Amino acid sequence: MAANMIGNNTEDMQDLMNKLTTAIDQIQSAMGTVDGKVQSVLWNGPDADRFRGTEWPNSKTQLNKVISDLNTVRSTVQRQKDEQVTASNS
């Protein structure tokens, strides 16, 4: 598609959606790995309690927000791609 055209290249949009899906999966996988280790690591005391009780849960909340935001972006890309297909077929 020429630079002065309006619209999108649906193959590029699909690639972007795939990249977003991969990023979401990687974040979820990393969270699961870290969460398992947080629960099993031998670490006692007030620092450990604070980390397990506040710091790690806060980080998980932020990571879940990132996942949610990426899912929203992915949905937008999907919608825009679908609209391009519809417009191109008209």
| Contact residues for 52 (Cβ-Cβ < 8 A; gap 6+) | 38, 39
Compute the radius of gyration of the chain from its Cα atoms.
20
Kindly report, residue by residue over 10-55, the tens digit of the pLDDT. 999 999 999 999 999 999 999 999 999 999 999 999 999 999 999 9
Write down the pLDDT at residue 72. Answer: 99
Give yes or no for a contact between 9 and 77, defined as CB atoms under 8 angstroms apart. Answer: no
Domain assignments of the chain as residue spans, ordered by start = 10-89
Q: Does domain 10-89 have CATH number 2.40.50.140?
A: no
Among 12, 21, 36, residue whose Cα is nearest residue 84: 12
pLDDT bracket for residue 4 (50, 70, 90): confident
d(CA 2, CA 13): 15
Kindly report, residue by residue over 62-82, the tens digit of the pLDDT. 999 999 999 999 999 999 999
**pTM of the model as a whole:** 0.87
The number of C-alpha atoms within 13 Å of 46 and in the hemisphere containing its C-beta is 0
